[in-house]
Structure 1
Amino acid sequence: MNASRRQFLAAAGVGLAGLAGCTAPEGEPSVAGLDNPEDQPFARLYEAVSPSVVRLRVYDAGGVRGEGSGWLYDDDVLVTNDHVVDLADTVRAQFANGEWVTAELLGTDPYSDLAALSVDPPVEAEPLPLLAEQPPVGTRVAAVGAPLGLEGSLTTGVVSGQNRTISSVRNFTISGAVQTDAAVNPGNSGGPLLTLGGDVAGVITQAGGENIGFAVSAALTERVIPELIENGQYEHSYLGVRILPVTPLLAEANDLEAARGVYLAAVPAGSPADGTLRGGAETVIVEGSPQPTGGDVIVALDDTPIATTGQLGTYLALETSPGDTISVTVIRDGEERTLDVTLGTRPDPR
């Protein structure tokens, strides 16, 4: 975001501060700033960012096959969801000035549900910056896009959860997602989830239920999109194990001191972890429920504590690359040990 846009958004805070010492003229309503544009931070946000958000229309041989949203990541690059442009023959983008332009697909990544498109934007459209860190729960945010094909729409809410592990529209696991209660509907997919400062906190990917929507994190977007622009694809790290969360019953079955870590249900032959890590081989009954036993329990990667399956996925997604050798700390047969595993590349799902 350039200086003028940041100054524009920052001015909202100055205007709000100025209202504190104001009184209404005699005979006028006493609610200061009710219709004052300086007291409308979302209106100011929308005015600043809307030229950079697009409605996407996707065509195949049979005509229009779907719509979605996108936003300007670089001077001539749009970001959207993989599932929005999957199998598209032609993609057209409509900017806020009403102009339609044809977008060229640069690359897609089904695992993160992200895609990059080349486009010739109008001069008033400026790239939107990615947020450096996940915003705290309670941070005010806005989803801008084209829900149900209604271009130029804005819905508001807050960040209602961090580091969520979700299943994508195509049933791939995405770690580190941002949860929001801003209304998200079909057509919002690929649009930005924005802070009041105009930074992209995530890329809207789906609605999870009433008052629950999810966005691919800015951190994962920052890793994936440059690779899509340069190479057309992104290679994800691959440990090659089947995992389960450590529940209290599973912990009891495996004589663990606490219900934390990630249980290895299986280590398939030929996977990067094969021959180093160990999967479960037996089952016992605990309180009437069958529980796997004998598998390693991952409790740390490179000395970073791992307490949940989400933390495991987030670390692999954001801190590692294929070919890296990482230290994996596990509990095996009641003892803690650290083993080295060289990560592979997640297989192409297609």
Structure 2
Amino acid sequence: MTQNHTYETLYRETIPSVVSLYVLHGGRYNGSGSGFVYDVTDGTGHIVTNQHVVTTAEEVDIRFSEGDWRVGKVIGKDAYTDLAVVEVADLPEYAKPLPIAHENPRPGQPVAALGNPMGLEGSITAGLVSGANRSMITQDGFSIPDTVQTDAPINPGNSGGPLVTLAGEVVGVNRARGGDNIGFAISAEIVNRVVPELITNGEYRHSYLKVRTIDVSPTIAEANELAHPEGVLVADVSLGPASGALIGCHGTKEIRGQEVPVGGDIIVGVNGQPISSHEQLMRYLILETRPDEPLAVEIIRDGERLTESITLGTRPKPARRISVT
């Protein structure tokens, strides 16, 4: 891919790699989305899309930019990052892999969202990176860390398509619209981490600290007699024994008319890396750790700083599937 300086050139060079996916159920299509070619070996390719696009399907119908159709096999998916991989034999020659960026984009960087919004195949929308390292809350109550925020319009049907720079590098996988001029894409760093394992193993094992945490706000800092807000409060350790020696909150304290949790450990660092928010903790766990590995957790407990060694567990699969418009 050459360095591009116009959206027209970008579209011409990247759209052959973008596909439409259709999920067949009961003899008719009841779901659709977008995807892009990730790699090709001897004519067999892998297409990256969203998990919520393929849902429980084992096969999907795929339409390429020049009208060719193929049947693809869903070989891997991960609900916690909303990524899925579809394997396709006899890929059209013009459908080339798109390069994945090695790091997240910078706010202010121009980008384009490619895909098939509202069933309109081969569409491009342009905008800027509005923010990076965002945490996106899903309809099932958990969050996807490290997402890219953009004002490039992302509409139903765009899901699974690439968010690309003017150089044609994928910096995100389009996922959902969060409101007017706010869209979110799963970051390239997560794609680089998760997709190879989906191809090899069919799933991605997530590290699991087995605690529930909340950011330390000024109110929480006051209630827990901290000198200043920092880190994340361990609110609950009832999710399983692998939380080890960490201590959760044991009660509440009224601060300015609000009941505020007190008594839990304050996580301020992991493996020597400072932690200032739940988002930062989740991002570190997904990008830097593996299940069954030890994690050195620096905490504040009763005003004293100490380090506990915790063995990470494997995050269980969510009880409900993701549903995103």
Q: Provide the TM-score with structure 2 as the length reference.
A: 0.94
* Match in the other structure for 1:207: 177
* Match in the other structure for 2:15: 50
Aligned to 1:193, the other structure's residue is in SS state strand
Amino acid of the residue matched to residue 52 of structure 1? S
Q: Deviations over 1:282-313 (max 9, x none)?
A: 11100111111100010000110000110000
The alpha carbon displacement at 1:172 in A equals 2.9
- Verify: 1:244 aligned to 2:214, yes or no: yes
The alpha carbon displacement at 1:89 in A equals 5.1
- Verify: 1:329 aligned to 2:298, yes or no: yes
- Verify: 1:226 aligned to 2:196, yes or no: yes
Q: Deviations over 1:156-183 (max 9, x none)?
A: 0010011001123544311010000000
Alignment of 1:76-95 (within 5 A): 76-88=45-57, 90-95=59-64
Q: Deviations over 1:194-229 (max 9, x none)?
A: 000110001011111110000111111111111111
- Verify: 1:294 aligned to 2:257, yes or no: no
Amino acid of the residue matched to residue 306 of structure 2? R
Q: In the alignment, which of 168, 180, 191 is matched to residue 198 of structure 1? A: 168
User: Using the alignment, how far apart are the partners of 1:343 and 1:78 within structure 2?
Assistant: 31
Q: Which has the higher contact order (CA 8 A, sep 6+)?
A: 2
User: Using the alignment, how far apart are the partners of 2:184 and 2:282 within structure 1?
Assistant: 17
CA contact (8 A) 1:202 1:218 kept: yes
User: Using the alignment, how far apart are the partners of 1:112 and 1:195 within structure 2?
Assistant: 21
* Match in the other structure for 1:102: 71
CA contact (8 A) 1:60 1:90 kept: no
Amino acid of the residue matched to residue 110 of structure 2? R
Amino acid of the residue matched to residue 132 of structure 1? H
Return 5+ residue gaps in structure 2 as ranges.
320-325
User: Using the alignment, how far apart are the partners of 2:122 and 2:81 within structure 1?
Assistant: 25
* Match in the other structure for 2:134: 164
* Match in the other structure for 2:322: none
User: Using the alignment, how far apart are the partners of 1:62 and 1:337 within structure 2?
Assistant: 60
CA contact (8 A) 2:58 2:73 kept: no
Aligned to 2:291, the other structure's residue is in SS state coil
Pair 267,139 (structure 1): closer, same or farther in 2 beyond 3 Å? same
CA contact (8 A) 1:57 1:93 kept: yes
* Match in the other structure for 1:68: 33
Aligned to 1:92, the other structure's residue is in SS state strand
CA contact (8 A) 1:300 1:329 kept: yes
Amino acid of the residue matched to residue 294 of structure 1? G
Q: Provide the TM-score with structure 1 as the length reference.
A: 0.88
CA contact (8 A) 2:57 2:74 kept: no
Aligned to 1:316, the other structure's residue is in SS state helix
Aligned to 1:326, the other structure's residue is in SS state strand
Greater Cα radius of gyration, structure 1 or 2: 1
Share of identical aligned residues, percent?
48
Size of the aligned set, in residue pairs, is: 314
* Match in the other structure for 1:118: 87
* Match in the other structure for 2:272: 303
CA contact (8 A) 1:106 1:118 kept: yes
Amino acid of the residue matched to residue 259 of structure 1? P
Higher strand share: 2
Amino acid of the residue matched to residue 191 of structure 1? G
CA contact (8 A) 2:131 2:149 kept: yes
User: Using the alignment, how far apart are the partners of 2:117 and 2:99 within structure 1?
Assistant: 22
CA contact (8 A) 2:58 2:74 kept: no
* Match in the other structure for 1:313: 282
CA contact (8 A) 1:168 1:205 kept: no
Aligned to 1:312, the other structure's residue is in SS state helix
The alpha carbon displacement at 1:348 in A equals 1.8
User: Using the alignment, how far apart are the partners of 1:73 and 1:172 within structure 2?
Assistant: 27
Amino acid of the residue matched to residue 68 of structure 1? G
Aligned to 1:221, the other structure's residue is in SS state helix
The alpha carbon displacement at 1:245 in A equals 1.2
User: Using the alignment, how far apart are the partners of 1:119 and 1:169 within structure 2?
Assistant: 30
Alignment of 1:152-191 (within 5 A): 152-191=122-161
- Verify: 1:150 aligned to 2:129, yes or no: no
Aligned-residue Cα RMSD (Å) equals 1.2
The alpha carbon displacement at 1:63 in A equals 2.0
User: Using the alignment, how far apart are the partners of 1:74 and 1:68 within structure 2?
Assistant: 19
